[in-house]
Amino acid sequence: MPRLLVVHHTPSPAMQALLEAVREGAALVDEVELTVRPALSAGAADLLAADGVLLGTPANIGYMSGALKHFFDTVYYPCLDATVGLPYGVYVHGNDDTAGALAAIERITKGLRWKQVAAPLGLTGAPDAAAREACRELAATVAISL
Ligand SMILES: Cc1cc2nc3c(=O)[nH]c(=O)nc-3n(C[C@H](O)[C@H](O)[C@H](O)COP(=O)(O)O)c2cc1C
Q: Return the domain boundaries, the chain.
A: 3-145
Report pTM.
0.98
Q: Is the CB of 93 under 6 A from ligand 1?
A: yes
**pLDDT tens digit sequence for 62-102:** 999 999 999 999 999 999 999 999 999 999 999 999 999 99
Side chain identity at residue 85, one-letter code: G
Q: Is the CB of 109 under 6 A from ligand 1?
A: no
Classified by CATH at the fold level, domain 3-145 comes out as Rossmann fold (3.40.50)
The low-confidence residues of the chain, meaning pLDDT below 50, are: none
H helices present in 60-128, as ranges = 66-79, 99-112
Q: Is the CB of 16 under 6 A from ligand 1?
A: no
pLDDT recorded at residue 86: 98
Give exposure, 63-81, as e/b (b: 16+ Cβ within 10 Å).
ebbebbbebbebbeeebee
pLDDT recorded at residue 17: 98
